[in-house]
Amino acid sequence: MNKWSSSFQLLTLESMMRWGGVVDELELACQLDQWRIHGSPDLDPMPGYFLSPFMKRVINMATRAASNLWLIDKAPIDEITGARLPSKEQVLLRYYHHHREMGKTASGSRKAVVEEVLPFWSRAGIPTTTVIHTGTKLSKLVKAYNDLKKNKNKDRPKHRMDEEIFKGDLQEIFDLAHSSSLQRADVKDEDKEFLRVREKQRGIIHGWN
């Protein structure tokens, strides 16, 4: 058995043992890429090498998979672009850019994202909630994602349904409108209508009357 095959199998087995018999593809991809570049004290101190075009495709696929977030299947983004108010997906991808790729703490990542998102609402002329409440809202979104990820290897219909609901909700706007926005005289009529539509949409989605 060659060095690459034995190392690959050992890394796969190690991942399966940690995750109850299921390979965590993101963890394995990261380990493969690190072994390819730096070697591994547990396997071989020398960097890995490719033996065939097939194995090159394997490591390239692994590298791409490692950059994408589980469930969302998209990589963290460098910035939030466009004129529209940011979606939950954009906010979550931005958070993980700061936290995972820039190495910031959870609180530092939240602070950075909040500072980026609030100006979108200011430019739209819609009063927003407080910075503290915005950070709390982001914390709940991140926690919901992480809770789902913890259960990703549990093969139960409820978990799959929760994942689909969460993934669908990510396309919604990360709503930071102040609760008094509809009553304020300084909010334009078209902005108030936008907020009314948003409230109605949330009511339909969540079964409100």
Enumerate the β-bridge partners of residue 177: 128
Q: Using the 3D structure, point to which of 33, 67, 101 is the last residue of a domain.
A: 67
Print the domain residue range for 105.
88-177
| Domain-located, residue 54 | yes
Asked whether residue 40 falls in the same domain as residue 98, the answer is no
Asked whether residue 37 falls in the same domain as residue 94, the answer is no
Q: Is 145 left (phi over 0), alpha (psi -120 to 50) or beta?
A: alpha
Least confident range of 74-88, 115-129, 190-204: 190-204
| Domain-located, residue 170 | yes
In which band, very low, low, confident or very high, does the pLDDT at 182 lie, cut at 50, 70 and 90? Answer: very low
Rounded-to-integer distance, Cα 148 and Cα 114, Å: 23
Asked whether residue 38 falls in the same domain as residue 104, the answer is no
Asked whether residue 33 falls in the same domain as residue 109, the answer is no
Asked whether residue 92 falls in the same domain as residue 171, the answer is yes
Q: Which residue has the higher pLDDT, 39 or 108?
A: 108
pLDDT digits (tens, 9 = 90+) for 84-125: 889 999 999 999 999 988 989 999 999 999 999 999 988 887
- Picking from 109, 82, 115, the residue whose alpha carbon sits closest to that of residue 96 is 109
| Domain-located, residue 81 | no
| Domain-located, residue 165 | yes
pLDDT of residue 206: 38
Q: How many domains does the chain have?
A: 2
| Domain-located, residue 57 | yes
Asked whether residue 51 falls in the same domain as residue 109, the answer is no
Asked whether residue 108 falls in the same domain as residue 173, the answer is yes
